[in-house]
């Protein structure tokens, strides 16, 4: 069984690289917008914020550490939220490029995908026909023939490069095989508990969003990691709130945010990340559960603390 806990950790993924600016006028793009969105999510109840950066001119994904430096100090100064940086970046980037923000800035937490996979974004073209920037439509269309590369060597390289930073990883698992990959690195002593296992559902190329899929992920993680892990979920698109609710009811944690879904209820675009945090917080509290504070999340995950980062 996963680590027994009395509080639910809410992670908010603020902007990401999946959605493009044309899809929602509320997607935070500039450093100021990303900082405001992260602080708002923290005030609404998120213990962790998961952050990507965007080119402030056209909204395209970027892993330029200097752009991260434009919003990270403001977030850190404004609230005590745990900051989680991406090593995923975007499927169009090299591993070395994706690694730089975490390697240089040494956050408390960083995301890490556990396998190469199809990453199908092109069905979004059925809904969105007009785009503001020339990179957006090709970026989505190209995903039909794009592999998001995360080889075993890539994963080892990221883990070993950041070992001295004492950064813990949000282990992103898009399929059952990814759990076994995480277990492989635990067996090698390269990945150490307590693990934060983030199970991802409903993205084309990964495991589906059916309740049986959620249960299978949980059962497999329990068998592989015993009590030395903390389980969290994210559901893509309209799967966000149903799967987050399932996790909370099953004793797990959840991730919401505009990276994973642009919506706040059927047909309604979320105006802020905080909208989604408040919605899932309402669900958690309706289940007679409590939302974890940042410091409680730090204790549960045995993080190094905000004073040990490089921003």
Q: At what angle do helices 240-249 and 211-225 cross, to 10 degrees?
A: 50
260 DSSP assignment: T
Domain count, the chain: 1
pLDDT in tens, 39-75: 999 999 999 999 999 999 999 999 999 999 999 999 9
The pair of structure tokens assigned to 232 is 């969290």
46 domain residue, yes or no: yes
Contact assessment for residue 3 and residue 230, using Cβ atoms and an 8 Å cutoff: yes
Residue 265 pLDDT: 87
204 DSSP assignment: B
pLDDT in tens, 256-299: 999 999 999 888 999 999 999 999 999 999 999 999 999 999 99
Contact assessment for residue 47 and residue 10, using Cβ atoms and an 8 Å cutoff: yes
CATH of the domain at 29: 3.20.20.70
Q: Quick check: 3 pLDDT over 80?
A: no
The pair of structure tokens assigned to 78 is 């404004």
Q: Could you tell me the CA-to-CA distances from 108 to 146, 150, 200, 237 in Å, in that order?
A: 31, 22, 21, 27
Residue 129 pLDDT: 87
263 DSSP assignment: B
291 domain residue, yes or no: yes
169 domain residue, yes or no: yes
Q: What is the pTM of this model?
A: 0.96
Alpha carbon 92 to its chain centroid, in Å, reads 18
271 domain residue, yes or no: yes
Contact assessment for residue 59 and residue 27, using Cβ atoms and an 8 Å cutoff: yes
Question: How far apart, in whole angstroms, are the C-alpha atoms of residue 69 and residue 49?
Answer: 15
258 domain residue, yes or no: yes
Q: Quick check: 2 pLDDT over 80?
A: no
What totals of helices (H) and strands (E) does the chain contain, helices first?
A: 11, 14
Residue 22: burial class (beta carbons within 10 Å; 0-12, 13-18, 19+): middle
Nearest by Cα to 16 from 26, 6, 28: 28
1 domain residue, yes or no: no
251 domain residue, yes or no: yes
Domain interval for residue 188: 7-308
Tell whether the torsion through CA atoms of 241, 244, 246 and 251 is positive or negative.
negative
pLDDT in tens, 111-164: 999 999 999 999 999 999 899 999 999 999 999 999 999 999 999 999 999 999
Question: How far apart, in whole angstroms, are the C-alpha atoms of residue 310 and residue 108?
Answer: 10
224 domain residue, yes or no: yes
């Amino acid at each position: 069984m996963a680590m027994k806990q009395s509080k639910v950790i809410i992670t908010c993924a603020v902007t990401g690289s999946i959605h493009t600016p044309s899809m929602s006028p509320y997607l935070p793009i500039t450093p100021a917008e990303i900082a405001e969105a992260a602080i708002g999510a923290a005030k609404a109840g998120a213990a962790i914020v998961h952050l990507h950066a965007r080119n402030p001119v056209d909204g395209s994904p970027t892993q330029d550490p200097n752009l991260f430096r434009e919003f990270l100090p403001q977030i850190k100064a404004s609230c005590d939220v745990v900051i989680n940086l991406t090593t995923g970046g975007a499927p169009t980037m090299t591993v070395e490029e994706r690694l730089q923000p975490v390697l240089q800035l040494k956050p408390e937490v960083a995301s890490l995908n556990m396998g190469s996979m199809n990453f199908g974004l092109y069905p979004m073209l059925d809904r969105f026909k007009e785009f503001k920037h020339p990179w957006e439509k090709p970026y989505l269309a190209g995903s039909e023939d794009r592999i998001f590369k995360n080889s075993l060597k890539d994963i080892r390289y990221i883990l070993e490069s950041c070992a001295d930073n004492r950064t813990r990883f949000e282990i992103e698992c898009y399929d059952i095989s990814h759990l076994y990959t995480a277990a492989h690195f635990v067996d090698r002593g390269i990945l150490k508990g307590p693990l934060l296992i983030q199970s991802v559902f409903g993205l084309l190329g990964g495991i589906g969003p059916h309740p049986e899929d959620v249960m299978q992920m949980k059962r497999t993680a329990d068998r592989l990691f015993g009590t030395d892990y903390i389980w969290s979920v994210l559901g893509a698109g309209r799967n966000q709130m149903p799967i987050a609710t399932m996790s909370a009811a099953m004793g797990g944690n959840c991730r919401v945010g505009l990276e994973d879904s642009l919506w706040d209820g059927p047909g309604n675009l979320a105006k802020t990340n905080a909208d989604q945090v408040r919605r899932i917080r309402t669900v958690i509290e309706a289940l007679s559960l409590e939302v974890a504070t940042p410091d409680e999340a730090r204790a549960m995950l045995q993080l190094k603390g905000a004073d040990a980062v490089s921003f």
